[in-house]
Amino acid sequence: MAVQNDLQLQETHPLHYYEVAVNRPLFQTYTYASFQPISLGCRVQVKLGHSTEVGIVVAQSTKAPDSDFTITTIDKIIDPTPILSAEILTLCHWGSSYYFQPLGEFIFTFIPNYLKQAKLLESLYIEAFEITSKGKYAKLPSQAIKQSDALATIQTLATTSNSNLVAKTTLNQHDIKSDTLRQLLKKELIQKSLIPPYAYTTAPTQTNENSLTLNQEQSDAVSTVIKNQNTFKSILLEGVTGSGKTEVYLNICRHFLNQGQQVLLLVPEIGLTPQLSERLQTQLPYPMITLHSDLANKERASRWLQTKHSTSLVVIGTRSAIACDLPKLACIILDEEHDSSFKQQEGIRYHSRSLAIKRAQLKSIPILLGSATPSLETLTNAEQGRYQHLRLTKRATGANLPEIEIQDSSRLTANQVFTDSTSEAIRNTLQKQQQVLVFINRRGFAPTLQCSQCHWVADCEHCDVALTIHKATNSLDCHHCEHKQPIPRRCPSCNSPYMSPLGFGTERIESELIQHFPDHPIIRMDRDSTQNRGSLEKIRQTLLEGTPCILVGTQMVSKGHDFPNLTLSVVLNCDNGLHNQDFRSKEHLLQNLIQVAGRSGRSKLQGQVIIQTNYPDHPLFVHFKEQDFPGFAKEELTHRKKLGLPPFHHQAAIRMQSLMDNQAFQKLLSLEKYLKDCVYAQGNQNLDISLTMPAAIERKSNWYRYLIVVSSPSRKHLHQYLNIAHEYLLKIPRTKKLKWVIDVDPLDT
């Protein structure tokens, strides 16, 4: 064996061998040598081919590799201590093999961007100040008001910090300017240190511990979780919207935090983190960390590192927070467990709920899955006794569930948005000084631009979809790739000047509402209107103030918000969900409708919901009118069982895409044949393999996309054949022109 670097050193220092996983689509780790011992979970810098990569040390090689190949030494050890614990490494090992994802990429999806590079942890250190002994007794001249105020503030804040130090950022938030600090430093009344961000935590100074008295169902839920502390136990908390699930979470957190332990609370959307953290923060005198993608890189990295070092801590985060390091983790809570945002559908594919359950099992702790409309997977797990099933059956404030009205919209003209009766209801609500929510699951002005003469439609040149009209940017945008183009004045096909928008998006609804209700603020909340950091929060504050207004938005508005003065929700254009090919579309639609309905009339005011649909007699609306999710679930599960669909059969999609038309299709066709031959040879009745078929959008960003769906009632059999498929796929190099991925438990097939 030859070691490339430092040959002489080798004679005096014994070599250690490690397996290193890098952030590349590679299904193997590589062995590197080091003259120093390194802890597992540390970042290192290594050479791979011609490039230099940051990798994570994932295992120790038990023995030196065979002598017939060359081993490289590790270039640099970046972290003196691990940034990933053994527990997280085990979770990632499990996840990468369960989901057939490359280990390195899998691990790196959970590492904040800042730490994906070779940045030293020292670069995250923060400036912090403390009062010197001289400062404690200093008498400042009466004109130095700013300085004495600053001293007093530092003194107060120091008592809430875990050390005597107060971070500069905290002081800035309290309006203490750098200049004032400089003057205090000069007088030696304070001193400055550079500390790791995790050495500094603060808890709220004022909390209101007089929380509500829980009702019987709520306190049963809390005590069930507490009873199971230190035991792996999955518990479903099915509670109608407004039934006080959040109050249950809060009480569970309080219990564990009082014991010096940590709780991880996962939510589907960034938008939900501020309101949840605000609510918990006013009740719990402990530090709290929120983790999501809307944070600056450095800030996110600091917070991510901090979770490891604080006891009595709640972490609130979106799906990737499942793998943050919490040594004293006592309980995991997944709010809105049915939400598909917990599944990452692009790049590395995983479901945060499955990882959460695995983590609870590894750690022997309880996990609580909360929802008003649980996924059929979770309901079945509860039905079959794998999860305990708890219910909250009524709204906690005693408020009634909203009144529901289904409006027939089939007679509206192409340019009419609201039925007369809907307009009337909106007007009445505003007159009563209350707020309205209009939900439409489509951003932009209109989903299509069409020529009125020849019916030409503006399509994306890279995808098989129509371009969306965006008036705000005056462009036609593809919602599936980066493509944008100006709106043409004339039809490119027949040169006619008569081009018109077809259908509605949030922008168009907004402008309609401005015309009809000019005296009230119309607030739009979608991906386009919330691009700037902090804009979501601003919208939330406006609604909380209670001013009568209309909130128009996509999915973003439907979840979790608690605006007490919002009493009317209007749902537009949900018909697609009634007839979509995806077998989960009805489940998702009903979940979504119940969510939207749950936004209205949460306080003492009676709520109202209007659904506009061209199919008012559709059976789904019967369940909706009665808010009968369990009834729907029962029917739907019977149907799925008959058809051999999830959750009764487990599925995986094998997806392949190529830049060249036909290439992916042909290769996938061969795999289909190979798998079918294997199944045939082994006489396995337990596995179903679909034909090779095009993806829902066949061409996307110039990639031609196909898939095979493999399913089996036995998870073991499914994985056995996925292993065979994976072996086969590994022989097909993933190139710049051809890609494949195995998608276990897909949500879109």
Q: Compute the least distance from the CB of residue 440 to Zn ion, in Å.
A: 22
Query: Which residue's CB is nearer to ligand ADP, number 247 or number 510?
Result: 247
212 binds, among ligand ADP, Zn ion, none (CB under 5 to 8 A by kind): ligand ADP
494 binds, among ligand ADP, Zn ion, none (CB under 5 to 8 A by kind): Zn ion
403 binds, among ligand ADP, Zn ion, none (CB under 5 to 8 A by kind): none
Query: Which residue's CB is nearer to Zn ion, number 26 or number 481?
Result: 481
Among 112, 242, 447, 601, binds ligand ADP (CB under 6 A): 242
Query: Which residue's CB is nearer to ligand ADP, number 96 or number 592?
Result: 592
Q: Residue 314: name the closest of 334, 289, 283 by CA.
A: 289
Q: Compute the least distance from the CB of residue 701 to Zn ion, in Å.
A: 6
583 binds, among Zn ion, ligand ADP, none (CB under 5 to 8 A by kind): none
Among 397, 423, 682, 686, binds ligand ADP (CB under 6 A): 397
- Which of these segments, 224-232, 244-252, 303-311, 421-429, binds ligand ADP (CB under 6 A)? 244-252
Tokens representing 649?
């059969």
**333 is an interface residue for ligand ADP by CB under 6 A:** no
Helix, strand, or coil here: 528?
coil
Rounded Cα gap, residues 353 and 682, in angstroms? 33
Burial class (CB in 10 A: 0-12, 13-18, 19+), 518: exposed
Rounded Cα gap, residues 244 and 250, in angstroms? 10
Query: Which residue's CB is nearer to ligand ADP, number 218 or number 555?
Result: 218
**246 is an interface residue for ligand ADP by CB under 6 A:** yes
Rounded Cα gap, residues 280 and 256, in angstroms? 13
337 binds, among ligand ADP, Zn ion, none (CB under 5 to 8 A by kind): none
Query: Which residue's CB is nearer to Zn ion, number 493 or number 541?
Result: 493
Distance of CA 190 to the CA centre of its chain: 42
The verdict on whether omega for the bond into residue 141 sits within 30 degrees of 0, i.e. cis, is no
- Report the DSSP pairing between strands 608-613 and 343-344: unpaired
CB 729 within 8 A of CB 743: no
- Which of these segments, 121-129, 236-244, 280-288, 491-499, binds ligand ADP (CB under 6 A)? 236-244
Q: Compute the least distance from the CB of residue 557 to ligand ADP, in Å.
A: 15
575 binds, among ligand ADP, Zn ion, none (CB under 5 to 8 A by kind): none
Give the CA angle between residues 25, 30, 34 to the nearest 5°. Answer: 140
- Using CB under 6 A, count the residues that bind ligand ADP: 16
- Which of these segments, 139-147, 210-218, 223-231, 300-308, binds ligand ADP (CB under 6 A)? 210-218
What contacts 340, CB < 8 A, 6 or more positions away? 588, 747
CB 245 within 8 A of CB 215: no
Q: Is 460 annotated as a binding residue?
A: yes
Rounded Cα gap, residues 55 and 104, in angstroms? 8
Task: Scan residues 506-565 and list those touching ligand ADP (CB under 6 A).
Answer: 562
Rounded Cα gap, residues 563 and 541, in angstroms? 10
- Report the DSSP pairing between strands 448-451 and 499-502: antiparallel
What contacts 530, CB < 8 A, 6 or more positions away? 536, 539, 556
245 binds, among Zn ion, ligand ADP, none (CB under 5 to 8 A by kind): ligand ADP
241 binds, among ligand ADP, Zn ion, none (CB under 5 to 8 A by kind): ligand ADP
Rounded Cα gap, residues 358 and 94, in angstroms? 8
**215 is an interface residue for ligand ADP by CB under 6 A:** yes
Helix, strand, or coil here: 318?
coil
Distance of CA 391 to the CA centre of its chain: 25
Query: Which residue's CB is nearer to ligand ADP, number 394 or number 739?
Result: 394
**214 is an interface residue for ligand ADP by CB under 6 A:** yes
Q: Is 324 annotated as a binding residue?
A: no
Partners of residue 263 on adjacent β-strands: 314, 331
SS (H, E, C) 95-150: HHHHCCCCHHHHHHHCCCHHHHCCCCHHHHCEEEEEECHHHHCCCCCCCCHHHHHH
Burial class (CB in 10 A: 0-12, 13-18, 19+), 202: middle
389 binds, among ligand ADP, Zn ion, none (CB under 5 to 8 A by kind): none
Q: Is 92 annotated as a binding residue?
A: no
Rounded Cα gap, residues 282 and 278, in angstroms? 6
- Which of these segments, 103-111, 120-128, 234-242, 435-443, binds ligand ADP (CB under 6 A)? 234-242
DSSP 170: H
Q: Compute the least distance from the CB of residue 597 to ligand ADP, in Å.
A: 12
**211 is an interface residue for ligand ADP by CB under 6 A:** no
Task: Scan residues 428-487 and list those touching ligand ADP (CB under 6 A).
Answer: none
Query: Which residue's CB is nearer to ligand ADP, number 248 or number 709?
Result: 248
Q: For 386, what's the count of Cα atoms within 13 Å in the CB-facing half-sphere?
A: 9
562 binds, among ligand ADP, Zn ion, none (CB under 5 to 8 A by kind): ligand ADP
**627 is an interface residue for ligand ADP by CB under 6 A:** no
215 binds, among Zn ion, ligand ADP, none (CB under 5 to 8 A by kind): ligand ADP
Among 244, 274, 402, 503, binds ligand ADP (CB under 6 A): 244
Among 233, 245, 319, 359, binds ligand ADP (CB under 6 A): 245
Rounded Cα gap, residues 13 and 124, in angstroms? 33
Partners of residue 43 on adjacent β-strands: 56
Q: Which residues bind Zn ion (CB under 5 A)?
A: 451, 453-454, 456, 460, 462-463, 478, 480-481, 483, 491, 493-494, 496
Query: Which residue's CB is nearer to Zn ion, number 324 or number 478?
Result: 478
Among 23, 228, 241, 283, binds ligand ADP (CB under 6 A): 241
CB 549 within 8 A of CB 520: yes
Rounded Cα gap, residues 451 and 499, in angstroms? 4
Query: Which residue's CB is nearer to ligand ADP, number 167 or number 276?
Result: 276
Q: Compute the least distance from the CB of residue 246 to ligand ADP, in Å.
A: 3
679 binds, among Zn ion, ligand ADP, none (CB under 5 to 8 A by kind): none
Q: Compute the least distance from the CB of residue 563 to ligand ADP, in Å.
A: 11
- Which of these segments, 238-246, 520-528, 543-551, 709-717, binds ligand ADP (CB under 6 A)? 238-246
Q: Residue 657: name the closest of 609, 608, 700, 709 by CA.
A: 700
712 binds, among ligand ADP, Zn ion, none (CB under 5 to 8 A by kind): none
Q: What is the strand order of the sheet 30-34 is part of?
A: 72-73, 30-34, 16-22, 51-60, 43-48, 76-77
| Helix H or strand E encompassing 670 | helix 663-682
Residue with tokens 């007159």: 431
Residue with tokens 């959040």: 246
- The binding site for Zn(2+) consists of 451, 454, 460, 463, 478, 481, 491, 494
- Where on the chain is the footprint of ligand ADP (CB under 6 A)? 212-215, 218, 239, 241-247, 396-397, 562
